[in-house]
Every structure is written in C-alpha cells, then in structure tokens.
Amino acid sequence: MVTFYPTQPVARADAAARGLREKVVCFVVRGEASPELLVFDHVPDDSGVQLPAGGVEPGEMPEQAALRELREESGLNLTGPEYLTSYLWEAQLPQRFTRQVCHAFLFRAPHDLPHTWECDADGERFAFRWALLHAPALDWEMDAALPWVCAALHPAPSSAHADGP
C-alpha cells in the first residue's frame, strides 16, 4: 500500500518519529518524444524489474542518497536530482512485512548512454536496460511515483499539488 506525504520534510519527520527506514528511488529518464526509463533485472535470479534505489544513511540527505545509490548500482554519475514526491510504502513481502518512507527523484540522462549494460553492486549483478516510460513493468510498487515523473517531464500550465500531479 502506498500513502503519499504532502512534503519531504513531513515524510522525514514521520520516518524519524516512527523509526522507519528511509529509502530513495531513482527514476532515470532519457528521450523526449518517447521517453525511456532505466530499469534493471537481477542476474541470474528473478527478483523482478526494479529501479536504482536504496537506504538513506545516517546524516545523509535524500538527495545525496539518490546520487550515491544511482552511482553504486548503475555506475552512472548523473547530477541534478529533481525531487518528485515522498510516500509511505507498506507491503507483505514473502519473508516479512515492510514499512518504509520512500523519496522519489528524477534524473535526466543523456541520449548517448548504451541501451544495455551490467553492473556489480553489493555482491549482486544488475542488468540495466531502457523501458518505455508508459509501460516499464516495474515490480515492488516501484511505479508509485510515475505520475510525478510524467508531470515533471510534461508540466501542465497549472502547478501540481501534493495529492498528485
């Protein structure tokens, strides 16, 4: 289940008050006419289609964590993360129940990146590829912030609000 927060400071305060893990989720997009989203699969197991993501370390700001996690998991050194939204993610996983506060960030990637590559991170191998933004087939409810991504790429004349783009 996903519940959105009105602002990042409210999300961070809730995480601190409840002792919840904070996580960042990186939406790396390239192209304008037919935008593509960077996704990865675990090699060789099947842990689902995912995005670069990971925990916010003590003393680290979410923006810093997004830059670090993107670099560690994909090898990309992109700059200028754009904050999208924060949400509470609650789910019954196969082995346990999880409750985390997630902060979503948009990264705009250059067009000349390879179509596929593999990267080793945290003792795992990730196979990266580009998927169409409108149908990335993400698992683990990682698509929760996709409406914010689309709104950031194609802003409407009026500004978006915290309930969604």
The pLDDT tens digits of the residues spanning 134-161 come to 999 998 889 999 999 999 998 877 654 5
Q: Are 109 and 57 in contact (CB under 8 A)?
A: no
**pTM of the full structure:** 0.92
Residue listed under structure tokens 């959105």? 4
Residue 103 confidence (pLDDT): 98
Q: Which residues contact 130 (CB under 8 A, 6 or more apart)?
A: 30, 36, 37, 38, 39, 115, 116
- Better-predicted residue by pLDDT, 47 or 159: 47
Task: Quote the CA–CA distance of 73 and 61 in Å, as a whole number.
Answer: 18
Residue 164 confidence (pLDDT): 65
Per the DSSP assignment, residues forming a β-bridge with 161 are 164
- Going along the chain from its start, the domains and CATH numbers come out as 2-153 (3.90.79.10)
Per the DSSP assignment, residues forming a β-bridge with 21 are 100
Look up residue 14 and give its amino acid: D
CA distances from 131 to 39, 55, 114, 138, 145 (A): 7, 24, 13, 10, 16
Look up residue 139 and give its amino acid: D
